[in-house]
Amino acid sequence: MQGIEPLIYGLGLAGAAVNAASGVLEAGRKPFDLFGMVVVALAAALGGGSLRDMLLDRTVFWIADQAYLITALVAGVATFLLARRVRLPAQLFLLPDAIGLSLFTVVGTSVALAHDAPWLVASLMGVVTGVFGGILRDVLCNEAPVVFGGELYGSAAWLGALTLIALPELGVGHDVSALSAGAVICTIRLLSIRFKWHLPIYSARR
């Protein structure tokens, strides 16, 4: 590991921790016990990358490197214990969550490109890595996925993934492309929360 690699590795672990914590908070309305909450936290933190790796027939990342699993476990249990004593407002997680989304999407797209996936597939793998954990969390909580509505989330991830794929074609270096893509995702996500940007909602004629 050299250059920005150690930073990305550390941010990836931080992203897993944030996803695990927000998994517990999002599931908070459900009367789940510690075991249920840990499963939801692990699904939120590791689900996206796991689906990506199974689809690409790669070794699943948290089996290759236990650090992700341990981080998600500790973050999930800590959030479970903390939230009983301290009020943890969901807004606290908006910025870390946006950073986590950016990182997971950039890493997921890069992994797919390195695995020789075609560009459209690679961009989708970025979105899957960034978003599927939250979808799985909501399915396990028996609720419709929150990312299917509301402020821009998956679409921000997709734009960032396409940025990551397009920039090197224009001669931009790898690290700058990755940082730009992450900035695109994080910025769109935060602006969309601030200014309440929404995608069109489906409304069929009947």
Of 22, 110, 129, 155, which lies in the binding site for its own copies, with binding defined by CB under 8 A?
155
Neighbours of 121 (CB within 10 A): 16
The pattern of x and - marking residues 62 through 81 that bind its own copies according to CB under 8 A reads xx--x--xx---------x-
Q: Which residues does 148 contact at the CB level (< 8 Å), separation at least 6?
A: none
In the numeric block, the tokens 């909450």 are attached to 37
**Where in 13-42 is the site for its own copies (CB under 8 A)?**
24-25, 27-28, 30-37, 39-40
Q: Which 3-state string (H, E, C) describes 146-165?
A: HHHCCECCHHHHHHHHHHHH
Q: Closest by alpha carbon to 106, among 44, 166, 168, 178?
A: 178
Residue 60 DSSP class? P
When the beta carbons of 145 and 172 are compared against its own copies, the nearer one is 145
When the beta carbons of 3 and 84 are compared against its own copies, the nearer one is 84
Binding site for its own copies (CB under 8 A): 24-25, 27-28, 30-37, 39-40, 50, 54-57, 59-60, 62-63, 66, 69-70, 80, 83-88, 117-118, 120-121, 124, 135, 139-145, 147-150, 152-155, 158, 198-206
